[in-house]
Amino acid sequence: MIEIDGAEGEGGGQILRSALSLSICTQQPFRIVNIRANRDKPGLRRAHLTAVQAAARISDAVVEGAALESRELTFRPGTLRAGDYAFDIGSAGSSTLVLQTVLPPLLTAAAVSRVRIVGGTHNPGAPPFDFLARAFLPLLARLGAQVALDLVRPGFYPRGGGEVHVRIEPATLGSLELMERGAARRCYAEAHVAAVPSHVATRELEIVGKMLGWPREQLHVRALSNDVGPGNALTVTLEHEHVTEVTTAFGQRGVRAEDVARAAAGEAATYLAATAPVGEHLADQLLLPMALGAGGRFRGVTSSSHLRSNAAVIERFTGREVGIESAVDGVVVTV
């Protein structure tokens, strides 16, 4: 039984999700205490509970402590089963975080799996659908995975109701070498609005254009059906030859459109000012599939507490070493 203190490192939900995935893949049970101890509302929220339940379903696991607001959990995995699965968070909790929990194990299953998840698709504090589709999955494909991701319907906080369909083929993951971005190909911003005045999108894109020096041709309003709103998400996509970075900010009640734009454009400007190919959030996501495959290395813009916490959990379950070394422009991460 592997013992994990959820208060260590970044102290959030990623420690739990990585532990669930790795427990199934390595067939090692674990017990975690102080779940999400460093968050304003500690313990299991709906999305985290759904991730636990999803992990249990795909592996016939025996679980203790799977309840809302629970701060302790014991997970004993059984046999991993490919199949068709449907998970409904029942709130606007992030469907992408649930997907990230079951995706690594299902890549190691014996047959194709299809997963349907209902919940939020564009959430603060979680990778939005666009990030997974444009930044993460292309690199996962370079590792040898074949994953088809489809956004059936977007879902924003607080309404939720978004729907994501995923087809996951079994794969033997290889290694990843990502040390350079390559030539810039395409950069653009999209302001998504649903049941929100169109001038919100216009104001956001005006700020992005000024901050990044982009013409109108690179700024796009994406008007969505009012049925999925209210919601507003601003994404900035930076495509390069070897990697794509996606930064995002979300409209919230009481937050001006201009401030939303400055957050997304500011993060994009920081990335463009650096030379390393892997952004802060993408670095977190790459570690686990690299550890389940043949390893590799990449250059990252920065070393975050999420990255270091994820590395520690991976080392506990797999025995593989994750090296994070300072470099001239960022860090070099080796698995």
Distance CA 8, CA 228 (A): 37
Contact present, 211 and 266 (Cβ < 8 Å): yes
Q: Do both 171 and 250 map to the same domain? A: no
Structural domain range at position 223? 184-273
Six-digit token string for 49: 């509970």
Strand 231-240 and strand 244-250: the pairing is: antiparallel
* pLDDT of amino acid 229: 84
User: CATH number, domain at 205?
Assistant: 3.30.360.20
Six-digit token string for 47: 């999305």
Q: Do both 242 and 313 map to the same domain? A: no
Order of strands, edge to edge, in the sheet holding 84-88? 84-88, 113-119, 162-168, 147-153
Distance CA 268, CA 304 (A): 17
Q: Do both 43 and 111 map to the same domain? A: yes
- pLDDT one-digit tens code per residue, 27-72: 999 999 999 988 888 999 999 999 999 999 999 999 999 999 999 9
Q: Do both 64 and 199 map to the same domain? A: no
Q: Do both 92 and 160 map to the same domain? A: yes
Q: Do both 94 and 19 map to the same domain? A: yes
Tell me the C-alpha to C-alpha distance, in Å, between residue 112 and each of 100, 115, 150, 169: 17, 10, 16, 5
Q: Do both 53 and 67 map to the same domain? A: yes
Q: Do both 215 and 145 map to the same domain? A: no
Q: Do both 244 and 141 map to the same domain? A: no
| Average pLDDT by stretches of 10, the chain with 335 residues | 90 91 97 91 92 97 96 97 95 91 96 96 91 97 97 89 96 97 97 94 98 97 89 97 97 94 97 96 95 96 92 95 92 97
Six-digit token string for 265: 């454009």
Q: How many domains does the chain have?
A: 2
Distance CA 97, CA 252 (A): 21
Can you state the percent helix, strand and coil of the chain, rounding each to 5?
A: 35, 30, 35
Dihedrals φ, ψ of 196, to 5°?
A: -130, 140
Mark which of 234, 254, 273 sits at the end of a domain: 273
Is 186 exposed, middle or buried, given 0-12, 13-18 or 19+ CB atoms closer than 10 A? exposed
Contact present, 16 and 36 (Cβ < 8 Å): yes
Which are the catalytic amino acids?
306
* pLDDT of amino acid 332: 97
